[in-house]
Structure 1
Amino acid sequence: MKLVKTSVKRPVGVIMIVLAILALGAVSLRSLTVDLFPKIDLPVAVVATTYDDAAPQEVENLISRPIESAVSTVEGIETVQSQSQSGSSLVMLMFSNGTDLDQALLDVRESVDQVKGMLPDSAGEPNIMRFNPDQMPVMWVGLTGQDAAALTEVADDQVVPFFERQGGVGSVSVEGGKEREIQLILDESKLQQYGVTTQSIVQSLNSTNQSASVGTVEKGNKDLQLRITGEFSSVEDIKQTIVQTEAGATIYVEDVAKVKDGFKEQSSLTFVNGKPSVVLSVLKKTDSNTVEVATNIEDSIKEIKQELPSDVNLDVIIDTSDFIQMSIDSVVQNILIGGIISIFILLLFLKSIRATIVIGLSIPIAIITTFTLMYFTGETLNILTLGGLALGLGMMVDSSIVILEHIYSFRQKGYSLKDSAIKGASELAPAVIASTTTTLVVFLPIIYVEGIASDLFTPLALAVSFSLITSLVVAVTLVPMLSSKLLKKAIKDGGRRYWFDRFLDWINDRYRSILKWVLGHRKTSVFVTILAIVGSLALTPFIGAEFIPSADQGQMEVRIETASGSSLKHTEEVVEKVNKELEAFDSVIETNYVSVGGGGFAGAGGGGANQATYTMQLIPSSEREKTTNAVVQEMDEALQDIPGAEITVSSMDSGMSMGEPIQIKLKGPEHEVLTELADQVVDEISTVDGIYNPESAASDGVPQMNITVDKDKAAMYGLTQEQVLGQVQLQFTGQVATKYREDGQEMDVSLMYPEDQRSSIEDLHDMKIQTMQGSTISLDEVAEFKQMSGPVSLLRENQQPQMNVTSQIVDRDLGSISSDVESVLASMNLPEGYSYEIGGQSQDMTDSFTDLAIALVFSIFLVYAVMAIQFENFLFPLIIMFAMPATVIGVMLGLFIADIPLSIPAFIGIIMLAGIVVNNSIVLVDYINLLRKKGKDRYEAILEAGPSRLRPIAMTTLTTILAMVPLALALGEGAETQQPLAVTIIFGLGVSSIFTLLLIPVIYTLFDDLTAKITRRNKNTEEA
């Protein structure tokens, strides 16, 4: 080949190109974004709308339903889900894969604009946004040491602005802080004395607190801007605001209200390791490097600590980059170990340090070049792309081994160094290219795979493909060039490693004897193979299935839910009891962050005063004896004895938002019936072995008091229903009258009544309503009261009411548990019009397996097509393809022995095997054909080809298998994700290689006999 000749004749040019590629790769490596997993493409949009103080039923009917109807017609939408809860509506739109989300968001915005006018006047502006899973906090930082008010001031004035200036930081949000507020606490007796209404106070504050430009005037040759400044400059200005009474007199605000510079009532509390704190969550920019952002924040913490008050502590609570860094480090370590093993195998077989260097150089060059190509294709450096490199490590040297072996053969025939390099590489270059192509084409059907499987498969496929293409180019350029310069003493017989040659000779003799036996017992050999395949398939029920293996990240979540309507103080008391129980786990808990009444980790948890969410980071897995799941189960048992609350303990996902393992969607026309069915389903599936902490999305109803205004009676006093409700709202929740700015900060100026007048049910019944004439009447005179229970939130999917039941799983694989849950649900007699659907990871697993199975079928077809082109024959590829069924034996046996369920990584390994296992068969069949062309009969050709090809087959197989052993052993953090892939390749390729050396010659003879028989029959027919 011309490329080979050029590389040998111009070594300086080749070396310069290689150095340039290495330099570019080094730069690319520094620029690559580091993350735990590839970016998951979720084409999801969210429409969020507020409707203050409205019940969930009103939110559903007046907000959620109109928006659902409007957006359902947008092209590309697969599912529309809505969640209606008190005061807010959340409509989530899931689009089909491949949808242009930017255009879809424009269409959604147009549809929402059409119904905006139909929404209630008091409803907030619908907020349309793209759901981005990357917008998860990179780090949580805790401020402790002072009270919440002082910590909030430190956070807002010093820490947040400083953090947001750091490289890669998108935004920093504060949780658990106190928000400053100017409170006007009204005196009802003074209001009646002066005849002042609350509305007149609001109007006076608003009209006084204004600034505006009123024009310009000339002064000499200049125009002066006229501006009236009337904004409040101090709290004293608010006190001195003039209010006009009904009688025409003037009074000041402080005459009817106590003006207090205070803080809004806290709706949530946060504690770090049991201490009151303010928590800052740091979000990165979309295209930023997670590890780099976390490092920048840690460096900035050291810097800003010197400027903070001495009694304020600023510490990292949870750093998601720690696990990423440890996972990446463990994969890199496994790559290095695998590389060393591969080099050792080469040295053992080649018996030459120079020859080993020639082939071994293809590994770093292929890896560095792969980094360059990953950078230009926008891929991230994660455990799957690095796992792909570790996977391709052994295969990188395959092409170089074959080329070098052939160059050796020409040296033995007496050719010069240069001629041996040119002739040896040129003759086998087409075969090597074809062999590499069979491995690469298995990745082409990825275009037919969608969803999470595609998001995970594509980066790994690209990493392996880049490394193999690079190693192929190295094999046909750099290897011949280095061979022509370095291999002057290439061949050595005997010496220190002669024992290994004798061992190979012994293996060859045993192989030749076995090969003679199988050729003499062809039917028995085929029957035993079929029996082995059937037997391996019988292991399927014992293996099971799961979606993606979860890595032991050491993060846990404890969710506490007290009775609906519980106060924040009551929930805090339950949290204190939990803290005492958690003291027994101090040895394994590194950090402990609890949000009472807030969102918790990543926004999970309730947001209600009756809910609290713990987020715990355990010490690294290498420093503890128990797994995260074991700690979860122990902690769950310890916390179940705490009365007055439902407590759920669960491990957290390893960086991927894949939903709950088991999710059951109940659908039907009535929310109330669905709530009852959900409770039944929880009871039924609790009997399934492996189901852990099943939950219904239906919460106990929030106790509420319905106030029904009698419009006729209200009209008699000159009042409307809106005016009555407005006064009730002011009495119990307050009203923002205006804004006050001080030192660049803006805060609310709120009217409210004293707390002792708005805390009990008696205060509601005794409440006085002001009429338009200034007199007062009792609320009882114009309204009726009825106590009842209202739902917390209402769910809908595709414009139909829905209720979800979710569950964690333990001690069993997802596939087996899902099957049992299906059986339980099928035995339940649901009312007419009600149905169920399995979702969550179980559904994702089924969909992904289906897509990957289709990809596998296409991959096998493409491998056959490539071989048919290579051999220019339809029969020989068919013989070679018989190496594939034997792969099933190794895959099933490997998963069974390693006790690993079938998962997406394992399935990807099976697809890759379709392209790998045929390479050995190609080498064998090609050589048999070559010997037969030279005049040898079939039997002799097979007996000579098998043992002579055993050495290169053993070399390529061992380098591929042993390079993946560290991955298969799951050494280090996060290695559990790649373990099924490595186990599948190791056992599949290992067992397949044995069957290749024994079964393929048998199949070859059977097909050859069949061909001869058909040829004779056709010849006899023609003669007849």
Structure 2
Amino acid sequence: MKLVNTSVKRPVGVIMIVLAIIALGVVSVRNLTIDLFPKIELPVAVVATNYGDAAPQEVENLISKPIESSVSSVEGIETVQSQSQAGSSLVMMMFNNGVDLDQAMIDVRESIDQVKGMLPEEAGDPSVLRFSPDQMPVMWVGLTGDDAATLTQVAEDQIVPFFERQGGVASVTVEGAKEREIQLILNQAELKQYGVSAQTIVQSLNNSNQSASAGVVKKGNKDLQLRVTGEFESVDAIKQTIVQTPSGATIHIDDIAQVKDTYKEESTKTLVNSEPAIVLSIMKKTDANTVEVAENINQGMTEIEGEIPSDVNLKTIIDTSEFVKMSINSVVQNIIIGGIISIFILLLFLKSIRATIVIGLSIPIAIISTFALMYFTGETLNVLTLGGLALGIGMMVDSSIVILENIYSYRKNGYSLVESATKGASELAPAVIASTTTTLVVFLPIVYVEGIASDLFTPLALAVSFSLIASLVVAVTLVPMLSSKLLSKAMEEDGRRYWFDRLLGRVNNGYRSVLKWVLGHRKTTVGGTILAIIASLALTPMIGAEFIPSSDQGQMEISVEAPPGSTLDYTNQIVGQINDELKEYESVIETSYVSVGGGGFGMMGSSSNQATFTMQLIPSTERSKTTKDIVQEINSDIEHIPGADITVSAVSSGMSTGDPIQIQLNGPEHQVLRELAGTIVDRISEVDGVYNPTSAAEQGVPQMTIAVNEEKAAMHGLTQQQIISQIQLQFTGQVATKYREAGHEMNVTMMFPENERSTISDLQNMKITSQNGASIPLESVAAFKQVEGPVVLLRENQQPQMNVTSDVVDRDLASVVTDIEAELEAMNLPEGYSYEIGGQAQDMAESFTDLSIALIFSIFLVYAVMAVQFENFLFPFIIMFSLPATVVGVMTGLFITDLPLSIPAFIGIIMLAGIVVNNSIVLVDYINILRRKGMDRYEAILSAGPSRLRPILMTTLTTILAMIPLALALGEGAEMQQPLAVTIIFGLGISSIFTLLLIPVVYTLLDDLTGKITRRKRKAK
């Protein structure tokens, strides 16, 4: 090949190019974005809307349904889901893959603008957001001190603006802050005495709290802008606001209300290490580097600590970059270990430091070149791209080994160094290019796989491909060049025989004997292979399947759900009991952050009956127990606490895609769905492996329904809307105007004293003011009934929905789903009602289907590449017989290591389709070379097999042993690559044995068949 000749004759040019690539790679790796996982762009948009304290039914009818109808016409939408709960609505739009999400977001916003006028006045403006896993906070920072008001002021005035100025920070959210509010506590007796209504007060406050421009006047040669200032400048000004009574008298606000400068009633509480605190959650920009943002915040904390009051303490609660750095470091460590193992194997086989250096150079050059290519293609440095390098590190030297071995053969036959390098590299360069290309083409279909499997593993495929392309270029240029300059002594035999040579000699002789036997017992060999494949497939039910392995990142979560309707104080009491139990674990819990009353989803309203603990454990190297062990111990200690459902769980590596099992029930009536959901929970509870099945229908929120009698109300000149607004004012309050002070804006809220809005009797005895000023009891125009209302109302594609969810323990996901589907099929659902399996089970099924198609196309592409290379349809077909034998290794490996089939394992199978044929290509190609030189077929096989055994052993061992650190899941975050590594190790190992024995047998069988067909054609002629 000309490329080989050029590299041998012009070594200086090759060296300069290599140095330039190294320099480019070093610069690139410094600028690569570091993150835990590749960026996942989910085609999902979210519309979030708040609606006071409205019940879920009103939220659904007045907010969710109009928004659903409006956005359903947006082009490219696949599914519209809505979630209506007390005070808030969340509408999610899932778009088809390939939709331009930027344009879709514009279309959604236009649709929302058209429907805004139809929403209730009390509803907040809908927020249209793009949903992405990257929207999770990078860090949580706790602010503790004695005075919550001071903490709030320090957070809002100093810390938040400072943090938002740091590089890469998108926004900082404050949780647990005190919200200042001017409260007007109305006196019912005074209101009645003066005959003043709430509307009159609101009108008076707004009329007195205005500023406006009034034109210009001339003063000399200047125009003066006229501005009438009338905004409240102090709380006293609010108190002195004049209110006109119906009789014409004037009174002040403080005559009919107590004006309090105070804080809004708490709807949530936050605790850090059991102490009240304010928590700041820090979000990074989409293209920002997680590690860099965290470092900027940590440096900023050191800087600002000297500027805040001494009694205010700033402390990092959770820093997600720590796990990112540990995971990246563990993968880098695995790369280094794998590289050392590969170098050791090379040294063992080559017996020469110089020869080892020649081949070993391909590893760092391939890695550095890969960094440069990753930078220019916009990939990030994450666990999966680095994992791709760790997986490919053993394969990087394969091409170089084959080339060097052939150069060595020519040198032994008496050729000069330059001739050996030129002829040896040129002869096998086509086979090496073909074998590398077969490995590369298997990744092409993965690029076209949709969904999370593509988002996660396309970067891995690119990393492996880049490294293999770089190593191929090194093999056909740098290796021949260095061989011609450095290996004069390395290739000289000194007559001594090392122990490893003697071992290889025995292996070679043994292989030759076995090869003779299988060539003489061809039917037995083929039959034994088929039986082995069938036996391995029989292991499938015992292996099972899951979606994606979870990583242990030392984080755990405790979810607390008190009975619906529970007060914040009641939930906080349960949190206190849990904190008491957690004192025993202070030695392993680094930080503990509790949100009491949080809604759990950043855009949803608060729920006073819920609380969430988020705990960061000390590093795994400093504790003797795993996170799962600690989770089980804590669960056993706190499960006896009465009054709430408490769930303890380990936080996965951020790759969670929902509950493992999610049964989506659809039908026309919410009530029927609630009943069906309860039945399903009971039935699937009996399925082995199902853990904690729950349904939103299991408990209802206690509600007091108020049915207004319109005829009785009309007799008093009242409408239903007027009665509702008066009830809302008494029990919720009403924002009358805004008050600005020192750059801060706060609500001026009218409300009644707490002792007049606390009990059912307060509601029943409430006085409703009619148009003529008369007061009547509410119970005279309304009926009261206490019922159980739904906690959340779900809809999908404008139809009611109810979900039943469950975790899976001690069993694989696929087997549990199969048993659940059998239970559901046995149920007779009413007409019009149906179910679907969602969650991780659905994602797994869809990903497996897509990857199966990708595997089929990969195998076809491998065959096509070999057919082009050999210019023959038969030889590629012979080589492809190494693929079925891979099943034996894959199934055996997963069974022995007790790992279920997962997305990473499936990716490993696809990679194997390109890897396992490499040895066959080299073997068949060399058999053909020997036959073209005039050697008999039988002798050619017996000569080529032992001759290629050494490079096949070297390439196989370097690939397999370099992946052992990944297969052992050493270090943080290595669980993701473990199934992939195990699949390749066992698949390649077993397949290599079949390659050395089965492929020669298949070669002879097909050669005989071809000969018979050719003879028949000749006779026919």
TM-score by length of 1: 0.97
Alignment of 1:536 onto 2:536 = yes
CA offsets 1:28-70 (integer angstroms, 9 cap, x no match): 1121111111122210112223344433223323332333233
Distance 1:134 1:27 in 2: 26
Task: Name the structure 2 match of 1:693.
Answer: 692
**Aligned AA (1:849):** F
Match of 2:43 in 1: 43
How many Å separate the matches in 2 of 1:222 and 1:306?
Answer: 48
Q: 1:348 to 1:604 in 2, by over 3 A?
A: farther
SS in 2 for 1:247: coil
Residue in 1 that maps onto 2:636: 637
The aligned residue for residue 997 of structure 1 is 996
Deviation by residue 1:236-276 (Cα, 9 ceiling, x = unmatched): 11112122222222222122211111000000001111111
Q: Equivalent residue of 2:750, what SS?
A: strand
Report how far residue 934 of structure 1 moved: 1.9
**Cα pair 1:703 1:789 within 8 Å, conserved:** yes
* Structure 1 gap segments, 5+ residues each: none
For 1:339-488, list aligned pairs within 5 A: 339-488=339-488
Matches within 5 A, 1:184-583: 184-494=184-494, 498-583=498-583
Contact 1:889 1:988 in 2 (8 A): yes
CA distance in 1, matches of 2:250, 2:74: 58
Match for 1:47: what amino acid? Answer: V
Whether contact under 8 Å (2:945, 2:996) holds in the other structure is yes
Amino acid at match of 2:532: A
Return the alpha-carbon distance in structure 2 between the equivalents of residues 203 and 790 of structure 1: 36
Q: Counterpart in 1 of 2:729?
A: 730
1:585-604 correspondence to structure 2 within 5 Å = 585-600=585-600, 603=602
Whether the 8 Å CA contact 1:547–1:842 is kept in 2: the answer is: yes
- 1:565-714 aligned at under 5 Å gives the runs 565-600=565-600, 603=602, 607-714=606-713
**SS state at 1:395 partner:** coil
* Partner SS state of residue 885, structure 1: coil
> Which residue is equivalent to 1:932?
931
Among the aligned pairs, what percent are the same residue? 75
Tell me the amino acid that sits aligned with residue 879 of structure 1: I
> Gaps (5+ residues) in structure 2?
none
Contact 1:699 1:791 in 2 (8 A): no
Q: Secondary structure at the match of 2:541?
A: helix
SS of residue paired to 1:881:
helix
Which one is further off, 384-393 or 94-103? 94-103
Q: Deviations over 1:921-974 (max 9, x none)?
A: 111111111212222211111111111111111111111111111111110011
Query: What letter matches 1:892 in structure 2?
Result: M
Alpha-carbon distance between aligned partners in 2 of 1:307 and 1:802, rounded to the nearest angstrom = 52
Confirm or deny that 1:777 pairs with 2:797: no
Report the Cα distance in structure 2 between the residues aligned to 1:626 and 1:816, rounded to whole angstroms: 29
Secondary structure of 2:488's match?
helix
- Asked whether 1:166 is paired with 2:166, we answer yes
Change (3 A) 1:995 1:952: same
**Partners of 1:83 and 1:937 in 2: how far apart?**
75
- 2:870 aligns with 871
Measured against aligned partners, the alpha-carbon deviations of 1:268-325 in whole angstroms (never above 9, x if no partner) come to 0011111111111010011001111111111111222222222222111111111111
Q: Cα offset for 1:520? A: 1.1
Amino acid at match of 2:679: Q
Shift of residue 103, structure 1, vs aligned partner:
2.0
- Is 1:754 the counterpart of 2:757 in the alignment? no
* C-alpha separation in 2, matches of 1:906 and 1:124: 47
Is contact 1:599-1:613 (8 Å) kept?
A: no
Give matches, 1:898-917, under 5 Å. 898-917=897-916
Aligned-partner residue type, residue 350 of structure 2? L
1:395 positional shift: 0.8
- For 1:336 and 1:139, the matched residues in 2 are separated by 30
Deviation of 1:108 (Å): 2.8
After the TM superposition, which of the residue ranges 582-591 and 271-280 deviates more from structure 2?
Answer: 582-591
Task: Tell me if structure 2 keeps the 8 A contact 1:552–1:621.
Answer: no
* More displaced stretch, 466-475 vs 102-111: 102-111
Tell me the distance in 1 between the aligned counterparts of 2:836 and 2:961.
44
Q: CA deviation at 1:756?
A: 1.4
The DSSP-based 3-state class of the residue aligned with 2:395 is: helix
Does structure 2 retain, via aligned residues, the 8 Å contact 1:605–1:611?
Answer: no
1:649 aligned counterpart, secondary structure: strand
Which residue identity does 1:691 align to in structure 2?
V
Summarize deviations over 1:778-809 as a string: whole Å, max 9, x none: 33333332322222221111222111011111
Cα deviation for residue 119 of structure 1 reads 4.0
Q: Tell me, yes or no, if the aligned pair for 1:147 and 1:276 is still in contact at 8 Å.
A: no
- In structure 2, the residue matched to 1:962 is 961
- What's 1:795 paired with? 794
Q: CA deviation at 1:716?
A: 4.1
User: Which residue type is aligned with residue 177 of structure 1?
Assistant: A
What secondary structure, in the 3-state scheme, does the structure 2 residue paired with 1:57 have?
helix
For 1:394 and 1:383, locate their aligned partners in 2 and report how far apart those are by CA, in whole Å: 18
Moved more, 405-414 or 266-275: 405-414
SS of the counterpart of 1:315? strand
Tell me the distance in 2 between the aligned counterparts of 1:693 and 1:79: 28
Q: In 2, Cα distance between the equivalents of 1:525 and 1:542?
A: 27
Distance 2:542 2:621 in 1: 29
CA distance in 1, matches of 2:514, 2:410: 31
Specify the code of the residue in structure 2 equivalent to 1:461. A
8 Å Cα contact 2:599/2:610 also seen in 1: no
Question: Is 1:1007 paired with 2:999?
Answer: no
Range with greater deviation from structure 2 (54-63 or 84-93): 54-63
Deviations 1:345-381 (A, max 9, x none): 1111112111111111111111111111111111111
Match of 1:835, as an amino acid? S
Shift of 1:115: 4.2
- Counterparts of 1:174 and 1:833 in 2: how far apart (Å)? 46
> Could you give the per-residue CA deviations for residues 11-44 of structure 1, whole angstroms, max 9, x where no partner exists?
2322222222212211211211111111222101
Runs of at least 4 residues of structure 1 off by over 6 A? none
Pick which of 272-281 and 618-627 moved more. Answer: 618-627
Report the more deviating stretch, 488-497 or 730-739. 488-497
Partner amino acid for 1:158?
A: Q
Question: Take 2:422 and 2:309, find their aligned partners in 1: how far apart are those partners?
Answer: 74
* Aligned length, in residue pairs: 1021
In 2, distance between residues paired with 1:401 and 1:847? 40
Q: Which residue of 1 aligns with 2:812?
A: 813
* C-alpha deviation, 1:859, in angstroms: 0.7
Deviates more, 1:195-204 or 1:268-277: 195-204
Shift of 1:634: 3.1
CA-CA distance at 1:584 after TM superposition: 3.4
**Cα offsets for 1:890-910 (capped at 9, x unmatched):** 111111111111111111111
Q: Is the 8 A contact 1:201 1:243 kept in 2?
A: yes
Report the equivalent of 2:765: 766
Q: Tell me which residue corresponds to 1:741.
A: 740
C-alpha distance in 2 between matches for 1:172 and 1:481: 57
Match of 1:880 in 2: 879
- CA distance, structure 2, for counterparts of residue 848 and residue 326 of structure 1: 29
TM-score normalised according to structure 2 size: 0.97
* TM-superposed deviation, 1:116: 4.3
Question: CA distance change for structure 1 residues 603 and 61 in 2, over 3 Å: closer, same or farther?
Answer: closer
AA matched with 2:249: A
2: CA distance between counterparts of 1:883 and 1:252?
Answer: 93
Please give the alpha-carbon distance, in whole angstroms, between the structure 2 residues aligned to 1:879 and 1:50.
Answer: 66
Q: Secondary structure at the match of 1:489?
A: coil
> Once the two structures are superposed, what CA deviation does each residue of 1:574-622 show, in whole Å capped at 9, x if it has no partner?
111222222333333222111110145x649982111111112223333
SS state at 1:287 partner: coil
Q: Is the 8 A contact 2:184 2:749 kept in 1?
A: yes
Q: Give the drift of 1:193.
A: 2.8
**Residue 939 to residue 423, structure 1, CA distance change in 2 (3 Å):** closer
1:67 matches 2:67: yes
